């Protein structure tokens, strides 16, 4: 019998602006899907969320996010808002933005980290025969992942989750439905990717 190597599980960071509405909704939904399924749970190592802004650092998710999650029987989720940082780009395999503005901010941060690493490497004049470039997260729009497990060829070409903060509870329900749809598509994508490796 051939010795089959099991692919390592991946870590995922969901990102919106303030880390109290959409990214926490996505984290809660994704965590629920992974913890309720042995099949999907084996794909994932770590799940977290953050914001591109520091407006709500330390705050709990918006009460409407929590109410929507509770309505869908997700009752064991808690989180303290935080701002995304440089270490996140090395710590996580995937960083998934909720909308185009968050995506642009994240891509800018990622590119700065890559440029800084290249400058540091050039400055230290490191000579190596093997690749020493550290891992950098794949940054995408959460909605780039389709329900059938395919992914948009264009980064950011998928559907956004609009910020429901200034609207009513209905906007949070829409965000929940999108988070569920994109989560399932992302999990199918990961499953296929691991089967191919």
Range list of β-strands (E), the chain: 10-16, 44-51, 94-97, 138-141
Q: Supply the residues annotated as catalytic.
A: 16, 22, 163
Domain CATH number, residue 143 = 3.40.50.2300
Q: What is the pLDDT of residue 149?
A: 95
Asked if residue 111 belongs to a domain, the reply is: yes
**Is 41 in contact with 9 (CB distance < 8 Å)?**
no
Asked if residue 166 belongs to a domain, the reply is: yes
Whether pTM > 0.85 for this model: the answer is yes
pLDDT tens readout for residues 49-63 = 999 999 999 999 999
Instruction: Provide the number of structural domains found in the chain.
Output: 1
- Domain that includes residue 28, residue range: 10-196
pLDDT tens readout for residues 70-126 = 999 999 999 999 999 999 999 999 999 999 999 999 999 999 999 987 777 665 655
> Which residues share a beta bridge with 83?
51
Of all helices (H) and strands (E), which one includes residue 183? helix 169-196
Residue 89 CA to residue 138 CA, distance in Å, equals 8
Q: Two tokens at 174? A: 């829409």
């Amino acid at each position: 019998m051939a010795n089959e190597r099991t692919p390592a599980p991946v870590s995922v960071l969901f990102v919106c602006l303030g880390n109290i509405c959409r990214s926490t909704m996505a984290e809660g939904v994704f965590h629920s899907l992974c913890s309720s399924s042995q099949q999907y749970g084996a794909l994932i190592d770590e799940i977290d969320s953050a914001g591109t802004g520091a407006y709500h650092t330390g705050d709990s998710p918006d009460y409407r996010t929590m109410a929507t999650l509770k309505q869908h029987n997700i009752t064991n989720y808690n989180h303290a808002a935080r701002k995304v940082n440089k270490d996140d780009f090395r710590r996580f395999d995937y960083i998934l933005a909720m909308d185009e503005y968050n995506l642009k901010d994240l891509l800018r941060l990622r590119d700065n980290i890559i440029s800084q690493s290249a400058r540091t490497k050039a400055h230290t004049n490191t000579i190596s025969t093997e690749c020493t470039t550290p891992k950098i997260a794949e940054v995408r729009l959460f909605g780039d992942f389709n329900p059938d497990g395919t992914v948009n060829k264009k980064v950011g070409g998928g559907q956004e989750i609009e910020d429901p903060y200034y609207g009513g509870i209905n906007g949070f329900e829409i965000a929940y439905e999108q988070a569920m749809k994109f989560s399932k598509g992302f999990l199918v994508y990961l499953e296929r990717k691991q089967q191919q490796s």
